[in-house]
């Protein structure tokens, strides 16, 4: 009888710990730059046209400001806002290469002008 009670308590505890760990992994926080957009989303699944309309409105009002060179709204890796990107320029009178990098995760991309 004690084995049954002990097995139930231990099994329940292990099950709770595993469930709690997966719950924590699935609870992602929305980045600050996206909160205003997410709040405007309808409760039901929006169509692609509705999403594009919301995004375009946010661009038009200046709620979202993409990087002028690359067009990114946020870092593709860590989702930090594009306003955090750091710039470096290299080149001569014929070519200029601008490197944009994310100081949070190290992601970078470049463009040649």
| Domain residue ranges of the chain, discontinuous segments joined by + | 1-30, 32-64, 66-113
Can you read off the two tokens belonging to residue 42? 């309808």
| pLDDT for res 40 | 74
Report, as an integer, the average pLDDT of 74-92: 90
| pLDDT for res 107 | 93
Q: Residue 26 pLDDT > 70, yes or no?
A: no
pTM for the model stands at 0.51
For residue 28, name the pLDDT band (cuts at 50, 70, 90).
low
| pLDDT for res 98 | 92
| pLDDT for res 32 | 76
| pLDDT for res 18 | 85
Closest CA to 84 of 104, 62, 69, 70: 104
Q: Residue 38 pLDDT > 80, yes or no?
A: no
Report, as an integer, the average pLDDT of 3-20: 84
Using CA atoms, how far apart are residues 59 and 56, in angstroms rounded to an integer? 5
In the beta sheet, which residues pair with residue 41? none
Which residues lie below 8 Å from residue 90, measured CB to CB, with a gap of 6+? 96, 97, 98, 99
Using CA atoms, how far apart are residues 72 and 108, in angstroms rounded to an integer? 11
For residue 1, name the pLDDT band (cuts at 50, 70, 90).
confident
User: Could you tell me which CATH number the domain at 66-113 has?
Assistant: 2.20.25
Using CA atoms, how far apart are residues 72 and 55, in angstroms rounded to an integer? 13
Q: Residue 101 pLDDT > 90, yes or no?
A: yes
Using CA atoms, how far apart are residues 12 and 10, in angstroms rounded to an integer? 5
Using CA atoms, how far apart are residues 74 and 84, in angstroms rounded to an integer? 9
């Amino acid at each position: 009888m004690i084995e049954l009670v002990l097995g139930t308590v231990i099994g329940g505890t292990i099950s709770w710990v595993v469930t709690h760990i997966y719950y924590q992994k699935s609870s992602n926080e929305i980045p600050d730059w996206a909160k205003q957009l997410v709040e405007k989303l309808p409760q039901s699944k929006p169509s692609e046209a509705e999403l594009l309309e919301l995004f375009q409105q946010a661009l038009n009002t200046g709620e979202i400001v993409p990087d002028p060179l690359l067009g990114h709204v946020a870092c593709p890796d860590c989702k930090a806002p594009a306003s955090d990107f750091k710039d470096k320029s290299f080149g001569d009178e014929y070519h200029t290469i601008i490197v944009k990098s994310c100081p949070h995760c190290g992601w970078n991309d470049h463009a040649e002008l």
